[in-house]
Amino acid sequence: MTALQERIGLVVLGMHRSGTSALSGVLSRMGAVAPRSPIAASESNPKGFFESRLICALNDDILASSGSDWSDWRSIDMSWLAGKEAQDLQERALECMQDEFGTAPLFVLKDPRICRILPFWRAVFQRLEIRPAVLHIHRNPVDVAMSLQRRNGFPRVYGQLLWLRHVLDAERESRGMVRMFLSYEQLVEDQAQVALRAGRSLGLAWPAACAPQDPGFVTPDLQHFRTGHDKILLDTRLSPWLRDALRILDLWSATTERAEDFAELDALARQFDSAAAAFSEALPAASEVVSKARETERLQSRITDLEARLAQAHDRSSARKTVLLAAEEKLREARDLAEQRRATLITAKEKLSTVRDLAEQRKAALTSAEEKLRATRTLLARRERRLDAVEASHVTLRNETSREIATLATHLLETRDELERTRALAAERQHRIAALLASTSWTLTRPLRALSRGFRNLSPKVKGTIE
């Protein structure tokens, strides 16, 4: 089941002492959630009732509100459902359902009293938007009556009347609901098969994590009375109402319910209701016994409740003792841990002292290093200023050098041009000289040039005399 699927409530219907507890136990083992506050197991029901204490008490109040109780075999006037008291009880039922089942997607609700007041619970389920799926379980009226006589002291005939009232009301009021019928004998014979048939008949998918059924949960030794149904159906000493109702329930359990049987059951119920007054008058002794049995049951219920409370108190005391022992053990562990932590703390303090000394040393070293760093930064600043001055001077020198180089390059170019012109002029003069030397006039004037050179070589005194 997932959170998106509808919630399903498995409603177990059946007369007291008919296997309703055993069936509820099987359903819970198939994954249906049982109530949170179950009635404790007892000698008459050693494997548990699987029945809510809260809802059982509520059902007693509902029956009392309608003027009845669980051991009253007469019909209930359902007009009381429209009254304010019934509405208040319905609000209480909503709270009980929340307390017992929370938001469980699949749970089992069981209390034989519900057979008598099913319309009330159908309204509760509708308000909670829960789909009810009904499981009718029946046991033959003879064995039920003997079991009630043994447990409650009821006369057998009175127990048989209670059986008939419960099965007729439960069948009639559950028509139209998803339901299946089974007998107590079928459950004892093969509980696993009953669970599988319930899944198919009611459209259920049992939780996948549920373990296979324990074949030892429902055992034949729990069935103290075993009167054969065939024997009962042929026993003309029993009321035809009992035999006819049992015959139809057996048939439905073996196959499936048949709508054509409804008319017979309705006619039987009308006859039973009509004869109620006569039966009441005809059984004064039985009524007195039942009254005494009811009083005994109330006292027994009170005793059971007190015993349950005593057991709970004992459990709480044992639990508290266990908690106290666990607390003492935890206290010892805490003390040991505290001692360990104390020793660890002392060691940590010693380490902390060492660390602090080391930190002081490192702090002093750091202070010295910082002073050296400041001196280094000051020196570096001075050197950076000097470097800036050198770089500035270098830039100036580089600029001046560039200018000088440019000037020299210009002068060089001019010198080269002058040289080229000089070379050209020299070449021209050389050419002229060569031409002159090769000319006739140069040859004729050679003596004159010799005289001229000789004259130039004379001393100034001789030159003056000649002149």
Q: Which of 389, 399, 336, 53 is nearest to 407 (CA)?
A: 399
Given this model, what pLDDT does residue 299 score?
56
Evaluate whether 140 touches 189 at the Cβ level (below 8 Å): no
**What are the structure tokens assigned to 289, written together?**
């016994």
* Higher pLDDT, residue 445 or 358: 358
Strands 130-138 and 7-13 turn out to be: parallel
Q: What is the pLDDT of residues 135-146, one digit of tens each?
A: 999 999 999 999
Given this model, what pLDDT does residue 212 score?
46
> What residues contact residue 97 under an 8 Å CB cut-off, 6+ apart?
55, 124, 128
Mean of per-residue pLDDT scores for the chain: 83
Average pLDDT rounded to a whole number, residues 59-73: 93
**pLDDT higher than threshold 80 for residue 302:** no
Average pLDDT rounded to a whole number, residues 57-69: 94
> What residues contact residue 455 under an 8 Å CB cut-off, 6+ apart?
463, 466
Given this model, what pLDDT does residue 285 score?
44
Is position 356 within any domain? Answer: no
Burial class (CB in 10 A: 0-12, 13-18, 19+), 277: exposed
Percentage of residues in the chain having pLDDT higher than 70? 82
Q: What is the pLDDT of residues 74-130, one digit of tens each?
A: 999 889 999 999 999 999 999 999 999 999 999 999 999 999 999 999 999 999 999
Burial class (CB in 10 A: 0-12, 13-18, 19+), 448: exposed
**pLDDT higher than threshold 50 for residue 2:** no
Is position 425 within any domain? Answer: no
Q: What is the DSSP-derived secondary structure letter of residue 41?
A: P
Q: What's the total number of domains in the chain? A: 1
User: Which of the four pLDDT bands, split at 50, 70 and 90, describes residue 223?
Assistant: low
Length of the chain: 467
Tell me the CATH number at 132.
3.40.50
Given this model, what pLDDT does residue 418 score?
84
Given this model, what pLDDT does residue 1 score?
45
**pLDDT higher than threshold 90 for residue 359:** no
**What are the structure tokens assigned to 449, written together?**
């040039």
**pLDDT higher than threshold 70 for residue 226:** no
Q: Is the dihedral of CA 444, 446, 452, 454 positive or negative?
A: negative
**What are the structure tokens assigned to 312, written together?**
């709970």
* Higher pLDDT, residue 161 or 285: 161
Given this model, what pLDDT does residue 311 score?
58
Evaluate whether 116 touches 78 at the Cβ level (below 8 Å): no
Out of 16-30, 71-85, 163-177, 437-451, least confident range: 437-451
What stretches of 40-129 adopt beta strand conformation (E)? 106-110
Q: Which of 19-33, 295-309, 323-337 has the highest mean pLDDT?
A: 19-33
Evaluate whether 48 touches 73 at the Cβ level (below 8 Å): no
Given this model, what pLDDT does residue 214 score?
57
Is position 59 within any domain? Answer: yes
Out of 225-239, 295-309, 450-464, least confident range: 295-309
Is position 49 within any domain? Answer: yes
- Spacing of C-alpha 311 from chain mean position: 35
* Higher pLDDT, residue 228 or 242: 242
Q: Which of 166-170, 296-300, 373-377 has the highest mean pLDDT?
A: 166-170
User: Which of the four pLDDT bands, split at 50, 70 and 90, describes residue 278?
Assistant: low
Given this model, what pLDDT does residue 397 score?
81
* Higher pLDDT, residue 214 or 118: 118
Q: Which of 150, 173, 172, 169 is nearest to 161 (CA)?
A: 169
Is position 154 within any domain? Answer: yes
* Higher pLDDT, residue 312 or 385: 385
Three-state DSSP class for residue 14: coil
Is position 169 within any domain? Answer: yes
Q: What is the DSSP-derived secondary structure letter of residue 83?
A: S
User: Which of the four pLDDT bands, split at 50, 70 and 90, describes residue 424?
Assistant: confident
Is position 43 within any domain? Answer: yes
**pLDDT higher than threshold 70 for residue 34:** yes
What stretches of 247-293 adopt beta strand conformation (E)? none
What range does the domain containing 78 cover?
7-282
Is position 458 within any domain? Answer: no
Evaluate whether 70 touches 63 at the Cβ level (below 8 Å): yes
Given this model, what pLDDT does residue 47 score?
81
Q: What is the DSSP-derived secondary structure letter of residue 52?
A: B
Evaluate whether 106 touches 10 at the Cβ level (below 8 Å): yes
